[in-house]
Amino acid sequence: MDSYYRIAFACSIMRPTLPFLIIQPTMNIAVRILFAGPALVGLFLTGCLAPIAMHQAVLSYDETVTQVSSEQLLLNIVRARYNRPVHFTTVSSVAATFDFRMTAGIRPPEGDARGLVAPIFSTTVAENPTITIIPMDGAEFEQRLLTPLEEERFLSILELGSDLGMALRMMGAAMRMETAAGLVILENEPGTPVEYEGFRCRCLHLSVLHRNHQLFIEPVMVEKVREGILAQGPTPDDVLQAMDKGHRWYKTGDHQYALSKSRLLLSNYDASRRFERRGDLVKDLQDWPPNEILVDIRPDHPGGAFSFQGRITLRSFNSILQFLAQGISDRPEYAVEQDPRTGFVEVNPAQTLQILETGTVPPDAALSVKYHDRFYSVEEARFAKGEGANWNLKAFNMLYQLYQMTKKPVSAPVPGIAIAK
């Protein structure tokens, strides 16, 4: 009785391991079954390779797009440092076509093979990615980069768990205060030391109150837009459209709802329970630009030993890039001590975001770009501990989040994804 080989194939889809082939000798007269072996092996092999290739491709594309976006953000800070125009491109879609092919056959017996045939099979995997890259220009450039950030963006950053002091230093352009001597403007600009230090001291005070859970950050009603009966209540679209305009819905009774215009207030008291305490600070608030935040620290509440009232003006995203770029060499930030009335301050780095300029890539660089034969890096403090650990990475992450918050849906056509076997 002639002998042949029984071919068994095994692969695992759940674990990305390579398929393997088991050839076992046996005795049987059904030699024709051998001819189907290579075809079955190739069929199962393509089925195993498909999920593995998809898994690796999705993760690789995600990592690459994130890395490119981060480096592009850092590169634009460096461009601003050299007074070059900033420019962004958006990867709106990545569509990959995978082509899995299989060939199978047999090799006739040779020499003393005694009638045995050898199976031959091969598989190929081809990937054809289509990446859509759109430059930011025109109205989108103006809206995302040149328009001042609104208070809703500031509130969204804080809701993500970001540090209040970091957000104020990065996003705040100035603090305007009405005093007995008149209007006082404290600019967040190291080139004007007195104003800069006054701004930093007040940001530190707000940050300490926030860390001690003594700062109220809440939208307060400044104007009632409309009120009426809504049997089903406001729809989700109504709520979202109201939030985009700085408005909010309130339930005032049975099926009774009011649409009110609200503004953000930072205070050391609960404004919802002490409505009268806002006094003259909010009488003209509905006419203020949407990029200004009201601050009211009263003397008869926590932190009141250092009391002040005013408005914080928020920068545009382009102004943030310019501010960070100037901090590299032209007008670097410097250490500012807290006001004695503030108390203990745990975290108070000199710079909002420190970007190193070196001739080679630093060993602890978490992110680095090359420009004009120089390397610009954001370092990672590998062994730092405490709330101030890795302040630079947290600050850059906040900058990245702000950039993504300005992003609008892209209407460019997105190619479909096809997987051929």
For residue 139, the surrounding DSSP H or E stretch is: helix 138-141
Task: Check residue 410 and give its pLDDT.
Answer: 45
pLDDT tens digits, residue range 205-245? 999 999 999 999 987 766 666 666 776 777 777 766 666 66
Q: Would residue 419 count as lying in a domain?
A: no
Beta strand 20-27 with 3-10 is: antiparallel
Please tell me whether residue 232 adopts helix, strand or coil conformation.
coil
Measuring CA to CA, how many Å separate 213 from each of 96, 204, 275? Answer: 49, 14, 20
C-alpha to C-alpha distance for 197 and 335, rounded to whole angstroms: 9
Same structural domain for residues 247 and 374?
A: yes
Q: Evaluate whether residue 416 is within a structural domain.
A: no
Report pLDDT for 396: 95
Residues 48 and 153 in one domain: no
Euclidean distance between CA atoms 95 and 419, whole angstroms: 11
Give the strand pairing for 118-135 and 89-107: antiparallel
Q: Are residues 88 and 72 in contact, defined by beta-carbon separation less than 8 angstroms? A: yes
Flag whether 152 is in a domain. Answer: yes
| 151, 153, 157, 160: CA torsion to nearest 10 | 120
The answer to the question of residue 417 being in a domain is: no
Reduced to 3 states, what is the DSSP secondary structure of residue 186? strand
β-strands 89-107, 3-10 pairing: unpaired
Q: Answer yes or no: do 104 and 151 share one domain.
A: no
Residues forming a β-bridge with 40? none
Q: Are 249 and 200 in contact (CB under 8 A)?
A: no
Query: Which regions of the chain are under pLDDT 70?
Result: 1-50, 52-53, 100-102, 104-118, 120-123, 125, 221-228, 231, 239-247, 250, 273-287, 382-385, 407-421
**What SS3 class is residue 340?**
coil
d(CA 393, CA 290): 29
- Residue 410 counted as domain residue: no
Q: Is the pTM of this model over 0.85?
A: no
Per-residue confidence (pLDDT) for residue 233, from 0 to 100:
72
387/366 Cα distance (integer angstroms): 19
E strand segments, 279-346: 292-297, 308-314
Domain assignment of residue 418, yes or no = no
Specify whether 235 is located in the same domain as 267. Answer: yes
Does any domain span residue 415? no
If asked whether residues 98 and 195 sit together in one domain, one would say no
Domain count, the chain: 2
Same domain, 114 and 221: no
Same domain, 198 and 143: yes
Report if residue 66 sits inside a domain. yes
pLDDT of 41 reads 52
End of a domain among 135, 151, 185? 135
> How distant is the alpha carbon of residue 252 from its chain centre?
37
Judge if 76 and 164 occupy the same domain: no
| 375: containing domain | 138-405
> Which run of H or of E encompasses 321?
helix 317-326
- Going by C-alpha positions, the residue among 260, 287, 261, 282 that lies closest to residue 271 is 282
**118 and 186 both lie in a single domain:** no
Q: Identify whether the C-beta of residue 395 lies closer than 8 Å to the C-beta of residue 166.
A: yes
- Let me know whether 116 and 165 are in one domain: no
One domain for residues 120 and 237: no
- The answer to whether residues 75 and 18 belong to one domain is yes
Beta strands at 256-267 and 216-229: parallel, antiparallel or unpaired:
antiparallel
Summarize pLDDT for 135-182 with one digit per residue, the tens: 888 888 888 899 999 988 998 899 888 899 999 999 999 999 888 788
Which of 67, 10, 64 is CA-nearest to residue 41?
A: 10
